[in-house]
Structure 1
Amino acid sequence: MSRPDLDPDLLRAFVAVCEHLSFTHAARRLNRTQAAVSLQVQRLEERLGVKLFRRSTTRVEMTGVAESFLIDARRILTLSEQAVARLSHLRVAGQVRIGVMEDYGTRVIPRLLPEIAEIFPLVQIEMEIGLTARLLKRLGSSFDVVLAMHPEGAGKGDLVARESAAWVASRDHGTEHTDPLPVALSYPDCLFRQWAIEVLNASGRPWRLAYVSQSTAAIEALVEQGLAVSILKSSMLGQGLRRLDGSSGLPSLPGAEIRLHRAANISPGAALVADHLTQKLRQRG
């Protein structure tokens, strides 16, 4: 009996549906129609001779077979991507200068760099951490690539992730009940600082700017000690912090987008690295 051929396109559709539990969201991620993704999954099920999803009008659920197969599907796709990348990118060389926000620069990008180093062994990465507004001013002169945060729907560049801004406080202290409310924020050109001041002033709640630091790590430490509340990305909360909900009395915050910007004069090698970063950041989301 012949074994089924595992078409990478079918595997990508399967993995996308597993990660989103939605054919609609999977189609958006793959830039295809929902009908096309559904057909690809159906073809994969026919080739494997198994049922991968239980579908209703309101939800999509993975079967036990799908949960096991997901591990293998991801491994197959990763090996395939790495093999092709090694052949096509082995001779790419030069320097790639990246500007990135602190939280992404310390928690997200470092996890992607080992794979970049493997795929592009002759490329030298230089990374600098800073505030979005300041980094973008140096795109082209100091940086080939800048990973920056923008208000939802307002930024240019390649969209790689969506983030929700969250009021945060210490897990061990009820700082949000202090009057006036102590707040720890970054410098004036920080988007989260601008949002905090706007919504707090509009709410009429008494507050004070208790601490100012460009360092996200320093702000997190201050908040964890119960000295202030602050705004962070929901995906970046440390163990000593908690997200404040509507019961805290704090005003709601806008949505944010993470976008990758490329210099107009970016080199072909740096563009390939930017392509890889864009792909991996989107997969993370």
Structure 2
Amino acid sequence: MPSLDPESVEAFVLTAELRSFTLAAQSLNTTQAAVSLRIKRLEERLGQRLLDRTPRKVSLSREGERFLDPARELVNAYKRALAALSPRTIRLTLGITHHLVGPGLPVALERVGGNDPNLVLDLRIGDTRGLLELLDSGKVDAAIILRHGENRRSGERLFNERFSWFGSPDLKVGRSEPLPIAIQPEPCQVRELTVRALTRADIRWREAIVGGGAIAVGAAATAGLAIAAMARTAMPAGVIDVTQRFHLPPLPEREVVLHSNARTAASRQVLFTVARAIQTAAQPTAD
């Protein structure tokens, strides 16, 4: 049985989760070449190809898919063993825009909690403007937000978030009736995105629910009271994509950006773990 280097296994896990050698290297505070070398040595040790690499894409091989979950367990056990000898508590205050809070968040917390029992994650949910103010004042260490046109151009792009129209499978709207829309109050960039799309498509609509935050808007859609324009990763259980059913216009993507004052490798790894779990949240079913 081959012995495995935990750091090489960790490099594989991060690259597999982030689908990027570059992001894995940033998370580990090392170089892309170093990550690639660790994974190459791991593959040679195992005698298996774990990743399929192309210039544009990194994906798991069949062997890599089988190895990923046990590899995560090995890395978590290794870190717990190290943490047992280190009584120091690490506190990371992270802000996440409420537009991204959905099924991926519990997955993120589970993964982060398993990585380091000495970590205290202080989680703040809010709007982009408020989170950036907290970052600037030093009240949060990092913030994961949506980038809109007028947002600051700094920060590290993590992925592009898709928006769509969601509603209950049982929602019915008469042909002559305006569409009931669940929407957030002003000022809200997603509200502007929603209104602009409906206006350009010349679709009659009415405010059915005005909710403070994506959770409230999603609840209205789940209850069958309205249609909501939401990020796909924040889609609540019990709703479907109703774009086709109601002939609604496509919605633009928005960049998900990490703004961080965190400097340690451990903190950066937590940030990328949370971001990747959000990105890979449950995908909705089209109507």
Q: TM-score, normalised to structure 1's length?
A: 0.72
| Amino acid of the structure 2 residue aligned with 1:30 | A
Aligned with 2:20 (options 26, 41, 56): 26
In structure 1, how many angstroms separate the alpha carbons of the residues matched to 2:94 and 2:145?
A: 11
Q: What is the alpha-carbon root mean square deviation over aligned residues? A: 4.1
Identify if the C-alpha distance between structure 1 residues 259 and 239 changes in structure 2 by more than 3 Å, giving closer, same or farther: same
Q: Where do 1:129-278 residues align within 5 Å?
A: 129-141=125-137, 143-145=139-141, 146-151=143-148, 155-175=153-173, 179-246=177-244, 248-262=246-260, 274-278=267-271
Report the structure, 1 or 2, having the larger helix content: 1
Other structure's SS at 1:139 match: helix
Aligned with 2:42 (options 16, 41, 44): 44
Gaps of 5+ in 2: 26-30, 280-287
**8 Å contact 1:177–1:248 — kept in the other structure?**
no
> 1:74: Cα distance to partner?
1.4
Give percent identity, aligned residues only: 25
> Does structure 1 residue 102 correspond to structure 2 residue 98?
yes
1:30-70 residue CA offsets vs partner (Å, 9 max, x unmatched): 34669974x6555433322345568899996633x544332
Q: TM-score, normalised to structure 2's length?
A: 0.71
In structure 2, how many angstroms separate the alpha carbons of the residues matched to 1:136 and 1:215?
A: 17
In structure 1, how many angstroms separate the alpha carbons of the residues matched to 2:150 and 2:35?
A: 27
Identify if the C-alpha distance between structure 1 residues 67 and 60 changes in structure 2 by more than 3 Å, giving closer, same or farther: closer
Other structure's SS at 2:3 match: coil
> 1:242: Cα distance to partner?
0.6
Match of 1:119 in 2: 118
Gaps of 5+ in 1: none
Larger radius of gyration: 1
Identify if the C-alpha distance between structure 1 residues 262 and 11 changes in structure 2 by more than 3 Å, giving closer, same or farther: closer
**8 Å contact 1:99–1:135 — kept in the other structure?**
yes
Other structure's SS at 1:253 match: coil
In structure 2, how many angstroms separate the alpha carbons of the residues matched to 1:176 and 1:136?
A: 42
Identify if the C-alpha distance between structure 1 residues 216 and 177 changes in structure 2 by more than 3 Å, giving closer, same or farther: farther
- In the alignment of these two chains, the number of paired residues is 267
Aligned with 2:272 (options 267, 274, 279): 279
| Amino acid of the structure 2 residue aligned with 1:119 | N
